[in-house]
Structure 1
Amino acid sequence: MAALMAGCSVQDQPAQNGAAGAEAQQEAKWTSKTKDQLRKAIDNRAAHGLDQMPFAVEGEDDTALTKAALTYAKALASGATDPSKLYEVYTVARPKADLEQGLRGALAAGDVGKWLDSLAPQDANYRRLSQSYLELRRPDATASPAVPETGKLIKPGASDPRIPIIARQLVVLDYLHQGAANGNAYSPAMVAAVKAMQADYGMEPDGVIGDDALSILNMSDADRARAIAVNMERLRWLERTPPATRIDVNVAAARLSYWRDGKLVDSRKVVVGEPDTETPQLGSPIFRLVANPTWTVPRSIQEKEIAKKGAGYLKANNMAWKDGWIVQQPGPKNSLGLVKFDMQNDHAIYLHDTPAKPMFGMIQRQRSHGCVRVDDALGFAEMLARDGGVLDEWNKARATGKETFVKLPAQVPVRMLYQTVLFDEAGAPVIRNDPYGWNDRVAEALKLDGHSSLRVRRGGADVGP
């Protein structure tokens, strides 16, 4: 499945300190034609998943029309909600457009509708989400296959007509390989998949499919529409022309995508923060590689997880006290592995290697204390070093066996995003799970109905960052 990460073709307009809203209202000359265009655009706001939000035009005077136009334009251009108010941390670059100037130009050209249409993301993924949302919201839409909640438990070895639908959803959620199901039989492969899912969500992993398991598997059309609208809003938060060379980390799916010169050149699994120590939505560049890193244990981990373990644990894990901090020396047991990707942010979040390789084989990889562990991190570091023209320097740094820093000639921007809709090979949206339950606060702000998300269980993290 392809991650929902693509940029858009519409250029961001630079923010200006020019006309204020009052000046825009004074210069805006509305006609019956442009009034109708505004009302039609607002009436069609379901195409952007905004049909549950009020964008009424309160009056016929130019001031009221301009206020309504700018309010709706802002929702399309940068989101109807403010992620920095919905989340404690959100530093991903946002779109910047001079909407007052844009409205004046649209009124002068007599085409407010065309201008409003241009403000939303223009890429194919956004259009697919829009189409899917409209189909799900149609009054005459045929309900998607759902698992009937008959009250009857499905036990291992049983046969049940609901099995094919359950199998399809297990495939979507990555718990089951395509083709592993066999008709109506609840096969051992499916039982193992259900047990893994139950464990991830803190349920008794008995393989019995009852109401709790169905609450994860059985998504209604309203739930699908809700997830799609939320992810459309998240796309509107993003700048329309992201850096052509960048790293995108989809925290919800625990996957990394490396874009170079506008092309996707690498994708790999990552391990991200577990619930309650979530990886925040950051925009933060990698500025250097660190070979054979040391790890200064954060106070929170030191006090909660290491302080009571005693001197024997410290010695066994190559740790020692230094200036009041526990520091782990370089080596195979170091929690940062053999490479750290140093980033510039105020939250001590970065990418790194790990000795805990089995975690990459898990389905729900929300298992860290907030930093991002990269699968085959050494291979990825070599890729960045080669692209940056410092591969020889990097290889020499690794060979020292000591902590050594290699500055990248050009910083590589990183965006840590949270997107719960991916796309299959045919381009159709696929609704994935919401491990942090972060869809809920966006859905509430957009006044969307549907069930609250189930979070993955806590307590899966090891000592590492």
Structure 2
Amino acid sequence: MHRTVIACSLLALTVALPACHSKPDNTSQTTEAPPINIDQVRWNDGAVRQLRDAIGRRAAHGLDRVRFAVDGQPGNAEGDRALTQSALRYASALARGASDPAKLYDVYTVTRPNPNLLNGLGAALKEGHLDKWLDGLAPQDDGYRALSRSYLALRKQGSAPASTIPDKGEPLKPGATDARVPAITRQLVASDYLDRSAVQGNTYNPTMVRAVQRMQADYGIKPDGVIGADALEILNLSDADRARTMAVAMERLRWLDRSPAPTRIDVNVAAGRLLYWRDGKVADSRKVVVGEPENETPQLGSPIYRLVANPTWTVPRSIQNKEIAGKGSAYLERNNMAWKDGWVVQQPGPKNSLGLVKFDMKNDHQIYLHDTPAKQLFQEVQRQRSHGCVRVEDALGFAEMLAKDEGVLDEWHKARATGEETFVKLPREIPVRLLYQTVVLGEDGEPVIRSDPYGWNDPVAAALGFSSRQGYRLRTSESDVGP
């Protein structure tokens, strides 16, 4: 995929408004004005109509299942206060999300928007443009608009569970010719199991069979390449399922700061992808391996403050007790490990589970980016294979890039040459956001639904008024002892 496509896609998992041809963010345009009191806000009949009309259009934001009552009548203090509270509730849903991710997940520390909505509301009412103010609170980028269009189109088609790829009752076997093959091929391509060049004809060919086998293995299904009801369930989503996913994706974007740091690293945990932004432009994109479903990588906002050359690895108690205890001295020696002060420590070298570089981050969860000797995992489609940390493809190349950009390349080369654990402090911290987005934009700019490896869409969907969806969950069995 071209870098320019990635930059403005939801695969990037960023709200990169300046880079994606967006309008200016007006969520904070009044924050420098003196703060006002809720009792200073005055309403009239025209403003109430604008509020009702705006709430009536909330399906454009996937919020049509959330109830927003308009209480109160203008003209008296009590009525104005009730109307203000109603407006602020809807404004907050647009500006920050209708749900609180810190309450939906055990860990969520990504910076969220925090506009002065009361001041903004007061100014909008004075100017008579409440509708325009509300419309400008949601993300203004092309990706959000694409999600909105897709959601509205799917919503119009109703909630019938009709499948895009119908189940004819008989499994589709290798070598068979079937009119469903092009649709199956498109979904395999969208999910990265199949290269676009394999799209041809109605025959279920060997290349497709291998792709289906990989998918089956990832989801704990017998990898026989036969497309039965279970494989179709993974490939297929009803219009209602798709609409639900689009609404969740919009909500996740509303959680994000509209003006993120122009130099930063964004990791889409759901897609196993990293984007490096430099001065507001995409400088690099690469694959990552993240936590397996039993050891999820949390949604964090946490900066890199130093590079570690030739790192040692002090094995966490959880890994030590579950996967190393009882393996004996031969195992430790073979993996360059030794006991030190009651901990198992792996010494620097090519077998070290952190590889040859660690990107140290500031957080309370012992989560960081690092290299890995298990390079083969980057070839997997579903790259949720670690114990929670983020393994970076060609991490040495990425460290070289960061060191050069931050002006510490000489120090980095000297640190590497020591062969011992050596720290190179960055002159400024680089913000990192570990995010989760199960919708990406295709090369045509249209949303494509990917897997939900952790099932993390469910609590968001419930908060938006959608019913739960039980489907196949990603299963991994190839994680190693590394973090």
Q: In structure 1, which of residues 4, 7, 10 is the aligned counterpart of residue 16 of structure 2?
A: 7
Q: Deviations over 1:347-383 (max 9, x none)?
A: 0000000000000000000000000000000000000
Aligned to 2:339: 321
Q: Deviations over 1:178-217 (max 9, x none)?
A: 1314422111111100000000011111111111101110
Q: Deviations over 1:98-128 (max 9, x none)?
A: 1111111111111111111111111111111
Q: In structure 1, which of residues 153, 159, 163 is the aligned counterpart of residue 171 of structure 2?
A: 153
Secondary structure of 1:289's aligned partner: strand
Q: In structure 2, which of residues 275, 279, 285 is the aligned counterpart of residue 267 of structure 1?
A: 285
- Residues 320-399 of structure 1 mapped to structure 2, 5 A cutoff: 320-399=338-417
Secondary structure of 1:54's aligned partner: coil
Structure 1 residues 173 and 445: alpha-carbon distance in aligned structure 2, compared to 1, 3 A threshold: same
Shift of 1:86: 0.3
| Partner amino acid, structure 2, of 1:7 | A
Taking the aligned partners of 1:113 and 1:135, their CA distance within structure 2 comes to: 23
Taking the aligned partners of 1:366 and 1:327, their CA distance within structure 2 comes to: 25
Contact 2:271 2:438 in 1 (8 A): yes
Aligned to 1:51: 64
Contact 1:275 1:435 in 2 (8 A): yes
Q: Deviations over 1:18-59 (max 9, x none)?
A: 858xx31x2121111100000000000001010011002133
Identity fraction in percent = 65
Aligned to 1:133: 151
Contact 1:231 1:421 in 2 (8 A): yes
Contact 1:440 1:452 in 2 (8 A): no
Contact 1:440 1:453 in 2 (8 A): no
Secondary structure of 2:136's aligned partner: helix
Secondary structure of 1:464's aligned partner: coil
Contact 2:160 2:238 in 1 (8 A): no
**Which has the larger displacement, 162-171 or 143-152?**
143-152
Contact 2:269 2:297 in 1 (8 A): yes
Contact 2:332 2:338 in 1 (8 A): yes
Shift of 1:308: 1.7
Taking the aligned partners of 1:166 and 1:70, their CA distance within structure 2 comes to: 45
Q: Is it true that 1:401 corresponds to 2:409 in the alignment?
A: no
Taking the aligned partners of 2:140 and 2:322, their CA distance within structure 1 comes to: 47
Taking the aligned partners of 1:195 and 1:331, their CA distance within structure 2 comes to: 35
Shift of 1:155: 1.3
Contact 1:73 1:116 in 2 (8 A): yes
Q: Deviations over 1:47-95 (max 9, x none)?
A: 1010011002133222221111000000001000000000000000000
Shift of 1:7: 2.0
Taking the aligned partners of 2:232 and 2:401, their CA distance within structure 1 comes to: 42
Structure 1 residues 16 and 305: alpha-carbon distance in aligned structure 2, compared to 1, 3 A threshold: farther
Q: Is it true that 1:42 corresponds to 2:55 in the alignment?
A: yes
Contact 1:226 1:450 in 2 (8 A): no
Q: In structure 2, which of residues 176, 185, 190 is the aligned counterpart of residue 167 of structure 1?
A: 185
Contiguous gaps of at least 5 residues in structure 2? 18-23, 74-78
Q: Is it true that 1:283 corresponds to 2:296 in the alignment?
A: no
Taking the aligned partners of 1:453 and 1:360, their CA distance within structure 2 comes to: 25
Taking the aligned partners of 2:304 and 2:208, their CA distance within structure 1 comes to: 41
Taking the aligned partners of 1:18 and 1:418, their CA distance within structure 2 comes to: 37
Contact 1:284 1:413 in 2 (8 A): yes
Structure 1 residues 39 and 155: alpha-carbon distance in aligned structure 2, compared to 1, 3 A threshold: same
Secondary structure of 1:119's aligned partner: coil
Contact 1:11 1:241 in 2 (8 A): no
Secondary structure of 2:196's aligned partner: coil
- Residues 192-207 of structure 1 mapped to structure 2, 5 A cutoff: 192-207=210-225
Aligned to 2:250: 232
Secondary structure of 1:272's aligned partner: strand
Taking the aligned partners of 1:306 and 1:338, their CA distance within structure 2 comes to: 22
Taking the aligned partners of 1:415 and 1:318, their CA distance within structure 2 comes to: 33
Compute the RMSD of aligned alpha carbons. 1.9
Secondary structure of 1:179's aligned partner: helix
Contiguous gaps of at least 5 residues in structure 1? none
Q: Is it true that 1:430 corresponds to 2:448 in the alignment?
A: yes
Q: In structure 1, which of residues 117, 123, 139 is the aligned counterpart of residue 135 of structure 2?
A: 117
Taking the aligned partners of 2:197 and 2:466, their CA distance within structure 1 comes to: 35
Secondary structure of 2:434's aligned partner: strand
Contact 1:434 1:454 in 2 (8 A): no
Q: Is it true that 1:74 corresponds to 2:89 in the alignment?
A: no
Contact 1:156 1:208 in 2 (8 A): yes
Contact 1:163 1:184 in 2 (8 A): yes
Contact 1:435 1:454 in 2 (8 A): no
Q: Deviations over 1:134-160 (max 9, x none)?
A: 111125899997101121111112222
Taking the aligned partners of 2:470 and 2:159, their CA distance within structure 1 comes to: 23
Taking the aligned partners of 1:208 and 1:141, their CA distance within structure 2 comes to: 29
The count of residues paired between Structure 1 and Structure 2 equals 462
Taking the aligned partners of 1:12 and 1:105, their CA distance within structure 2 comes to: 12
Secondary structure of 1:33's aligned partner: helix
Aligned to 1:293: 311
Aligned to 2:21: none
Q: Is it true that 1:180 corresponds to 2:198 in the alignment?
A: yes
Aligned to 2:76: none
Taking the aligned partners of 1:414 and 1:167, their CA distance within structure 2 comes to: 35
Taking the aligned partners of 1:230 and 1:140, their CA distance within structure 2 comes to: 18
Shift of 1:395: 0.4
Q: Is it true that 1:416 corresponds to 2:434 in the alignment?
A: yes
Taking the aligned partners of 2:88 and 2:252, their CA distance within structure 1 comes to: 20
Structure-1-length-normalised TM-score: 0.96
| Partner amino acid, structure 2, of 1:220 | S
